[in-house]
């Protein structure tokens, strides 16, 4: 079996990826504080901030592809911890890009819609990034490092992900579901828009990008429609048999946070849909699947 290295295998995306790809590839995965156990997958602790050791890690495993999902992914944390965010999101990404290039293996880098300022929305790959928070800046700098140091790369700017994870860190869907089912009243923002992406669609796209003849370059990958969290929560209430009045409708300005939040980071995903002949689940389709499974 061909080998794949997934950084951040204990994260929401990395865990979902490993579970989907383990039947096709021999998977190696790195984590930091949360040592997860995934049957058939070799998981080990490796601090990517210690980037001088990254080259040796990659040489030892010698994978056909690296999927780099590890990051400081919480924008507020990044805003308050610049050095840590820059070290992991940018410098470690650069070292992985160099190592992948030396090995001649493919590198898939997961970037974010937060590279945009959110003033326009429906961003395509031709639009210029203009991040308004430090997380977005460090991820965009990571994109530049990949372009500078690696030839066999695919950079995916992802919309906000939702679905089911390992339980280590709950994503907004899981948090809303837990609160609604326990009779609590979640607050959901109604004036901030994203193309929310079902994690299984992200996994499907990344799986297709791993092959040696797969398309390279920069791709946007968000869900097929623009929505606010409030709109998603309304759809979730209907499926859980909970009254929509259980949700508190709030505005972005009511939630001051360390990192500024772009109002509309929706992504135009036409390029990747064409390139991979990809079906992207609507929020309604994804919630049907998530709620049916329970
Ligand atoms: N989730 C989203 O909505 C979203 C949207 C757009 C883009 N993205 C991007 O997609 C990727 C995956 O996101 P996610 O939600 O799966 O992230 P996540 O759940 O926050 O997971 C982050 C991963 O990075 C690891 N990590 C943190 N610091 C590390 C270090 N110093 N050395 C090695 N590993 C370290 C964590 O390990 P431990 O858990 O073991 O500490 C964890 O496995 C990220 O690159 C993110 O920027 C995510």
- Please work out whether the CB of residue 70 comes within 6 Å of at least one atom of ligand 1: yes
**Nearest protein Cα to ligand 1, atom 19:** 11
- The kind and range of the H/E element at 141 are helix 134-149
Fold of 3-162+197-222: Rossmann fold (3.40.50)
**Structure-token pair, residue 89:** 């999101």
Rounded to whole angstroms, the Cα distance separating 218 from 215 reads 9
- The kind and range of the H/E element at 237 are helix 229-240
Q: What is the largest CA-CA distance in the chain?
A: 56
Domain assignments of the chain as residue spans, ordered by start: 3-162+197-222, 172-193+226-265+280-293
Q: What pLDDT, in 10s, does the model give residues 188-232?
A: 999 999 999 999 999 999 999 998 789 999 999 999 999 999 999
- The kind and range of the H/E element at 219 are strand 217-221
- Please work out whether the CB of residue 203 comes within 6 Å of at least one atom of ligand 1: no
Rounded to whole angstroms, the Cα distance separating 69 from 27 reads 14
- Please work out whether the CB of residue 135 comes within 6 Å of at least one atom of ligand 1: no
pLDDT given at position 51: 82
- Please work out whether the CB of residue 13 comes within 6 Å of at least one atom of ligand 1: yes
Domain 172-193+226-265+280-293, CATH: 3.90.25.10
- Please work out whether the CB of residue 33 comes within 6 Å of at least one atom of ligand 1: yes
pLDDT given at position 168: 87
Residues of the chain with pLDDT under 70: 293-294
**Structure-token pair, residue 233:** 């929560």
pLDDT given at position 24: 96
**Nearest protein Cα to ligand 1, atom 15:** 12
């Amino acid at each position: 079996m061909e080998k794949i290295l997934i950084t951040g295998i204990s994260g929401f995306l990395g865990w979902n990826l490993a579970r989907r790809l383990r039947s096709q590839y021999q998977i190696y995965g790195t984590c930091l504080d949360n040592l997860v156990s995934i049957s058939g997958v070799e998981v080990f602790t490796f601090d990517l901030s210690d980037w001088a050791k990254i080259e040796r890690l990659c040489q030892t495993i010698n994978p056909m592809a690296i999927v780099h999902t590890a990051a400081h992914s919480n924008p507020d944390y990044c805003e308050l911890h610049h050095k840590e965010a820059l070290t992991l999101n940018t410098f470690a990404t650069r070292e992985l890009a160099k190592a992948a290039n030396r090995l001649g293996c493919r590198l898939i880098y997961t970037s974010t819609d937060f590279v945009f300022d959110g003033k326009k929305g429906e961003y395509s790959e031709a639009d210029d990034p203009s991040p308004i928070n430090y997380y977005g800046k460090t991820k965009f700098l990571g994109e530049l490092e990949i372009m500078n140091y690696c030839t066999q790369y695919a950079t995916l700017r992802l919309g906000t992900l939702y679905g089911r994870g390992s339980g280590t860190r709950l994503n907004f869907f899981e948090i809303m579901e837990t609160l609604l089912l326990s009779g609590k009243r979640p607050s959901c923002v109604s004036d901030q828009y994203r193309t929310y992406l079902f994690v299984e669609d992200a996994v499907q796209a990344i799986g297709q990008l791993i092959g040696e003849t797969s398309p390279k370059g920069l791709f946007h990958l968000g869900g097929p429609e623009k929505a606010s969290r409030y709109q998603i929560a309304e759809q979730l209430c209907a499926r859980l048999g909970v009254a929509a009045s259980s949700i508190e409708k709030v505005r972005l300005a009511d939630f001051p946070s360390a990192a500024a939040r772009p109002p509309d980071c929706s992504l135009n995903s036409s390029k990747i849909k064409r390139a991979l002949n990809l079906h992207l689940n609507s929020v309604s389709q994804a919630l049907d699947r998530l709620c049916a499974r329970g």
